[in-house]
A and B are shown apart, each in its own frame.
Chain A
């Protein structure tokens, strides 16, 4: 069941990615000029943060499969901590873009930039809520080596959020 949900989410992001790519093909100069204003280092840093959070989630799943609940809870909390770093960096990027006057209405590139990244940003926030819920339930003994579907489901959602950003970063920040 979780795969159906994940694929539905991926389909939406896939359509947005293709819409961005084909919109760019009609106005390459505008997209390249807009992209030049983005902070590639912040984007790459956030990529490292998300893949590290994903790795922590993998460690949490490994821990619960071994029935190490407190270890699982610690890895989940570490993943939420990394996700918080992503949120802070992204909010900084948004503040910088706004200060420079780049809003959704500025041009087609920034319409896509705000739509794509903010849609993903909302998924990061939801992922954090899910990981925190799984962490809380783990702490209260809801999961074990025999039954940990909730942990694996939350983990899969988080990895989907990571996977989307892995496509988004080179597409919007680097490729020109």
Chain B
């Protein structure tokens, strides 16, 4: 974790929180409507990818960390989400 003495700009963090709330309500709506299918699965996985990346970048402060830590996180998220997509595809 990079320790910075610089002031933290709260605006991106507040916007991140609002986007996270909006996407979560979107996921809940999809769940309550019982929607399914390839496009819905893709939408949910894309939403998950966006949400996790926003948390990592803006909340965890990965944005200010070394490139290698950001690459590891990006690779981790893509591998997990792609693996889930592959499993769903195998399930038909």
Question: How many angstroms between the C-alpha atoms of A65 and B87 in the bound complex?
Answer: 44
CB distance from A163 to the nearest CB of B (A): 5
CB distance from B91 to the nearest CB of A (A): 4
Contact count band on A: 35 or more
Interface members, chain A 30-56 (any B CB < 8 Å): 40-41, 44, 47-48, 51-52, 54-55
Task: Return the CB mask of A115-154 against B: 1 if under 8 Å, else 0.
Answer: 0000000000000000000000000000001101100110
Inter-chain contact B13/A44, CB cutoff 8 Å: no
Task: Return chain B residues, CB-CB under 8 Å to A99.
Answer: none
Inter-chain contact A166/B51, CB cutoff 8 Å: yes
Task: Return chain A residues, CB-CB under 8 Å to B45.
Answer: 170
Inter-chain contact B5/A162, CB cutoff 8 Å: no
Chain B at the A interface: SS class: helix
Contact count band on B: 35 or more
- Assess whether A108 is interfacial by the CB under 8 Å rule: no
Question: How many angstroms between the C-alpha atoms of A65 and B16 in the bound complex?
Answer: 20
With contacts A24-B87, A59-B10, A152-B1 known, is A176 near B36, CB below 8 A?
yes
Inter-chain contact B20/A65, CB cutoff 8 Å: no
Contact among A48, A54, A145, A167 for B59, CB-based, below 8 A = A54
Interface members, chain B 27-48 (any A CB < 8 Å): 27-28, 30-32, 36, 41, 44-45, 47-48
Residue of B nearest to A146 (CB): B5
Chain A at the B interface: SS class: helix
- Assess whether A10 is interfacial by the CB under 8 Å rule: yes
- Assess whether B84 is interfacial by the CB under 8 Å rule: yes
- Assess whether A69 is interfacial by the CB under 8 Å rule: no
Binding site for A on B (CB under 8 A): 1, 3-8, 10, 13-14, 16-17, 20-21, 24-25, 27-28, 30-32, 36, 41, 44-45, 47-48, 51-52, 55-56, 58-61, 65, 69, 72-73, 76, 79-80, 83-84, 86-88, 90-92
The 3 A-B residue pairs with the shortest CB-CB distance, nearest first, are: A21-B87, A44-B28, A25-B91
User: What are 9 A-B pairs at a CB distance below 8 A?
Assistant: A7-B76, A18-B84, A24-B91, A47-B24, A51-B20, A54-B17, A55-B14, A58-B8, A174-B30
